[in-house]
Chain A
Amino acid sequence: MDRRAFLSYNAAVAAIPLTGVALASLTEAASAAVRPAPVDFTSNLPAPGSFPKRWICGSSSCMDNTDPPVQVHWYNPHTAILRQNKAYSYEAPFAPLYFGNDRVLLLDEGFVQLRNDWDLRGTVDQCIAEWCARNGRDPASLELLVAFSHLHADHYAATNQFADRPNTRYMGLTHEEMVGFWGMTNFPEERVRLDLGGREILIWGSPGHVVSEFAYYDSYTQILYTGDMFYRGRCYISFWQPWFDSMKRLIAFCDTHPVSHVMGCHVEISKDGQDYAYGMTYQPDEAPVEMTVQQLRDAFAMAQTITEPGIYFTGTVFLCNQTRGTTTIDKNPYRYT
């Protein structure tokens, strides 16, 4: 498949306005007879769900870590949140897995590439199998969309594990392929709707941390997933103006849509606001991954006052304005006079 063909053969076929009855193929129609009733993702919103009190967060000695490589937390019966073990990678990103009647969306993947080091594919397959068993579906009938929030290796490293998975589409690793995957023609302003089968995901551009970044809103749980441009930790803002514009878009979205939680990809901060330095593999007292809309608004209010590069703490997140990656607020503890 050449590049042009790839860009036209993308997940946009599932996105509005191309989705719906027009897409229903003969095979789907045939299997519909034996399917149980579809899950209703549109009433009683937001769907209730819960985050764990405490995520698995590494251990003082990495090689003695016996936790599973991927922690799977079912936020509610149709939403799983995966997290990489800190002893497998210090990045330990979170990865939501949204189930719809026709498709499953995996966002982000963790910072280990090889399947024999870190079997993300197996874990995702197992989650899908569990969900299908609970809902009387055939896993083979579900399409898996493997996407990521932005173009950084800790979010796409494991993509190749899904390369040979049947009924799977995964996002390419260039800006054009990412934007094309969602069928966007006007990045970052355009907001597209992805239909997972009764469950809609709203997607729009959210550059600033990097150029190629999206925000994802799940209309079922009403979780706003903001990637690395806004998360509880050090938001490395590479490009201030695009980031500020993205924040404006997020605030405007929150003004018009109900949002239950704002969720980023990482946690790099403790409950009492202590910074876990870049690369740490043990965060025994880490803050929850979910944030409130108010915290997002507070950060935006503070961002409006920022004119200089530097590190600013909003009370929830560190805004690292145009400091270079891996910068922290650490000091040498042994300094003396």
Chain B
Amino acid sequence: MHGYYGIPYIMSEDYDSRHGMSGTRLSTMPRPTSNITIAQKCNIDIFLVVRTEFCRSKSILGNSVAQGSVYNPALSGNSQSATGRAYPNGNPELGYNPPGVRNTDSAVPLHRSKPVVHDYACDGPAPGALGFRWTYGSNVAARNRDPRVQVVQYNEDTFVLRQNVCVHWEAPFTYLLFGNNGALLIDTGATATPAHYPLRETVDAIITRWGQARGRSKVPLTVALTSGEDIAQNQGLAQFAGRADTTIVPKPLPVMQRFYGLQSSWPSGTGRIDLGDRVIEVIPTPGTHKDGVTFYDPYCQFLFTGDLLFPGKINIGNDSDFIASLERLKAFAGKQGIKWLLGGHVEMMFVPGKYYPRFATYKPYERVLEMVPALIDEALQYAREVQGKDMMLIRPDFAFFNGVSPDQRTQVWPEGVPNINPPRPF
């Protein structure tokens, strides 16, 4: 038994079966092996990034000590994190369960007779972890062999899916959230062809697997978009046409407003999507798109901002709407706890103020996806600066394009921000 060093690591399906162990320690249920077959049958490459935080027992540690040699993590061949170096096998002084584990299903009985009902009420954000890096395309896009849909499990009820950069350069993020009564898919990717971008198959596989883990045969799905008009997010919608137990939020703006019950209160009101004890709030945020909305998940305390605010080149559609939406988000953030803003794309590099151009199929220096809520204030401040002007403006974590070509460039570099040029690939 090896591989549990208390560090995040990537585990693929066949790694799992080779080592004959359960893929995730977050769940104590026996792994439903039939799910592997489903995934394999669907020919989907699913990467599960699972963070196992110090969740090994002392007895396992005892075994490795009994082998008589001192474990040297540097020689193990496993990548080591900073904490992993201090406690390569997990800190035995810490409890078995990491903080917040009571929010998860780790303690549900093995053999259940009825569906698991999860308690989504919790103090503070539900725990979870995102991968540090996403698949980022390749120098020669035609030779890319990464998964078409990269699946990262944030926690048991929250999945982040990313489209392969070499399938579509926009490489949008798609989010799949589960509640006791159903699932919500936020955005659908930039490619309609299932052979190129098997979003539906992937979502179906995740839902089936989740349903089996929770003892549910039916998991109703709602598909909602952060913007119905954005072709970088609405193309995959066609794949869900005719799917059973599926509600697709209708598209033209007035119909969508009616669906959310916002026809009279757009854009000041909020709508709700109830997933069963996990109520997603729908905040109208036009600005980059006329029909833009932001979703708030109170369980993970995420704002799914789509194109409105993301680490990349933000093309403002209407600057006064944009500012009003940011103000609404700021007011919302004052009332509700917010851990992260998760946008629809990543275009910035991990050096401040630098970004990838449009159509790039190789982005090895991508910034992380998540943004801290303080960035709403910064965005608001600089959105006011570009209001009414045709200009672009660079900030460390995003760039605004107001009334100019998406290829606009500027000589103006933000003050106090180090100007670092990352190395260029071949």
Contacts and interface: CB of A to CB of B under 8 A. Distances in A.
7 contacts: A60-B168, A62-B166, A63-B146, A64-B195, A87-B141, A329-B405, A334-B289
A: contact size bracket: 35 or more
Interface string A74-88: 000000000001011
Nearest to B425: A113
Contacts of A281: 141, 169, 359, 361
Contacts of A332: 315-317, 401, 403-406
Interface string B393-426: 0000000010111110100000000000000001
Given A326-B357, A330-B406, A62 B229 contact: no
B230 interface: yes
Contacts of B195: 64
Nearest to B164: A63
A63 B167 contact: yes
Given A332-B401, A334-B290, A117 B141 contact: no
B367 to A, nearest CB: 19
Interface in B178-228: 191, 193, 195-197
Residue among B141, B145, B404 having the largest count of chain A Cβ atoms under 10 Å? B141
A113 B406 CA distance: 28
Given A117-B140, A336-B318, A64 B359 contact: no
B187 to A, nearest CB: 15
B325 interface: no
Contact of B142 (A85, A114, A324, A331): A85
Given A63-B142, A88-B140, A281-B169, A327 B359 contact: no
B58 interface: no
B156 to A, nearest CB: 31
B357 A64 contact: no
A112 B403 CA distance: 35
A98 interface: no
B407 A330 contact: yes
Interface in A193-243: none
Contact of B229 (A69, A112, A329, A334): A334
Interface in A267-318: 277-281
A335 interface: yes
B288 interface: yes
Contacts of B358: 277-279
Contact of B357 (A60, A114, A278): A278
Contact of A326 (B229, B404, B409): B409
A292 B316 CA distance: 41
A62 B142 CA distance: 5
B360 interface: yes
B196 A60 contact: yes
Contacts of A64: 167, 195-196
B139 interface: yes
Given A60-B196, A332-B401, A88 B141 contact: yes
A65 interface: yes
B143 interface: yes
Interface string B248-290: 0000000000000000000000000000000000000000111
Contacts of B167: 61-64
Given A63-B196, A87-B140, 4 more contacts: A61-B168, A61-B191, A279-B169, A334-B229
Residue among A85, A324, A332, A334 having the largest count of chain B Cβ atoms under 10 Å? A334
A300 to B, nearest CB: 27
A83 B141 CA distance: 16
A334 B317 contact: yes
A337 B407 CA distance: 21
Contacts of A71: none
A326 B407 contact: yes
Given A63-B166, A63-B167, A334 B288 contact: yes
Interface of A: 60-65, 67, 69, 85, 87-90, 112-114, 117-118, 157, 277-281, 324, 326-332, 334-337
B144 interface: yes
Interface string B135-158: 000011111111010000000000
| Chain A interface helix/strand/loop/mixed | loop
Given A61-B193, A334-B230, A336-B317, A69 B142 contact: yes
Nearest to B230: A334
Nearest to A331: B405
Interface in B339-393: 357-361
Given A61-B193, A63-B144, A327 B405 contact: yes
B142 A65 contact: yes
Contacts of A88: 140-142
A184 B301 CA distance: 68
B134 to A, nearest CB: 15
A329 B408 CA distance: 10
B139 A62 contact: no
Contacts of B141: 62-63, 65, 87-88, 281
B317 A87 contact: no
Contact of B140 (A118, A327, A328): A118
B210 to A, nearest CB: 28
A86 to B, nearest CB: 9
Contact of A117 (B139, B146, B318, B403): B139
A208 B143 CA distance: 35
Contacts of A61: 166-168, 191, 193, 196-197
A278 B318 CA distance: 25
Interface in B277-312: 288-290
Contact of B317 (A65, A90, A335): A335
Contact of B426 (A63, A114, A328): A114
Contacts of A280: 359
A268 to B, nearest CB: 12
The 3 closest A-B pairs by CB, nearest first: A279-B359, A62-B141, A87-B142
A124 B169 CA distance: 31
Contact of A62 (B315, B318, B361, B405): B361
A330 B406 CA distance: 7
A324 B315 CA distance: 20
A114 B197 CA distance: 28
Nearest to B167: A61
A264 to B, nearest CB: 20
B164 A112 contact: no
A327 B290 CA distance: 26
A65 B141 CA distance: 9
A94 to B, nearest CB: 18
A327 B143 CA distance: 28
Contacts of A112: 139-140, 426
Residue among A62, A326, A336, A337 having the largest count of chain B Cβ atoms under 10 Å? A62
